[in-house]
Structure 1
Amino acid sequence: MKDDWKKSPLFKKAQDIYKLVTHLVQVVENTDIKFENDIESELLQHNLDYLRKNAMIIPAKITRATNKDTPYDLKMESATLIRKAAKELITDVRGLEMYGYKDEEYLNLLRQDVEAFRILFAEWVNTFDPWNYTIDRWGLFNPPGVNYDDHDPDDDIPFNPDDFFDGN
């Protein structure tokens, strides 16, 4: 089915993380954390914004990478952004602790969800077909043995635009 990825444990866990972060941000915004100056208050708000952003990136990039026609290099690019966002969630949580947020239960729930997500993520990445690729000319996400400057065999396929388009 077209939308089977929505039922995958990976996507469901990403949604769980997003919901937990959304709730956590609301709770933190309604706490009475005391600051010595406005800069600290602004820094906390930036921290909360990063939490939201990172939680949104994860399901969005899963959606992009789950399409079976997406080539390996683009799947790996999405996977890299997902991993970065998930790791930054943990950093963002540490920031909340530094600003004085005391409810360890929420923070530990998020840590546990990210850890469960990490395992599902690693299993998911192992399903990527490295031979369904386009050459990544930047050299980051090519399968083993393929280099950024390799000749692309698709370049040898003759193309005559007159075969496809009328001159009209």
Structure 2
Amino acid sequence: MDEKLNNFPLYIKAIEIYELVHKVSVLIENNGDENDFDNHVMNEYKNQMNENALIIPAKIAGAFPEDMLYDLKMENASIIRKCARTILTTTSGLKMVGFTDFDYLELIRNEIEEFRILFAEWVKTFDEWNYSIDRWGLFNPPGVQYDDYDIDDDLPFNNPFDDEV
């Protein structure tokens, strides 16, 4: 893995969040009673937290290259934000279904808050001038519309699938 990425504070914080979430998930035991609704929900929350905590560092790594297009960076950033917010929501859900180690949940929430600040600073570094028009209209830089003219659209492109019937 890239040494620059491994030393990137946002990535380091994402790994710390994953490790903390993993430790908390170990505390959530499946008591084996499939009919116990709270047990089932608690284990679903555990799985959801683990999944989201794994996605965050992967998406940071995916958006890390400085020369990556703005819309791709923003797409990854939105997934990262969604995952972090889902982890926060999940900590509240765990409290509602009887998880009693509230201190661990508060640690996760505090780590997410520290992550949020690092994340917001990182997003400010995205180069708005390094873009291709997002024809879906979600991740265009300010002032760029999904239906704007793009000179690249005039380049000849031979689609190999055009000949297929």
TM-score (norm 2): 0.88
RMSD between aligned residues: 2.1
Question: Structure 1's 160 and 21: CA in aligned 2 closer, same or farther, altered over 3 A?
Answer: closer
2:13 equivalent in structure 1: 13
CA distance in 2, matches of 1:61, 1:71: 14
Letter in 1 for 2:8: S
- Counterpart AA for 2:133: I
Distance 1:107 1:151, change over 3 A: same
Unaligned runs of 5+ in 2: 160-165
Deviation at 1:40, TM superposition (A): 2.5
Whole-angstrom distance in 2 between the partners of 1:70 and 1:160: 25
2:111 counterpart of 1:102: no
CA separation in 2, counterparts of 1:89 and 1:8? 22
Q: Distance in 1 between matches of 2:9 and 2:44?
A: 30
Aligned length: 157
Q: CA deviation at 1:158?
A: 5.0
The question of whether the paired residues in 1 share the 8 Å contact of 2:88 and 2:109 is answered with yes
- Say which SS state the counterpart of residue 29 (structure 1) adopts: coil
Percent identity at matched positions?
52
For residue 116 of structure 2, the aligned residue among 100, 114, 118 is: 118
User: 1-side partners of 2:9 and 2:73: how far apart?
Assistant: 18
Distance 1:83 1:159, change over 3 A: closer
Amino acid at match of 2:40: E
Q: Which residue of 1 aligns with 2:4?
A: 4
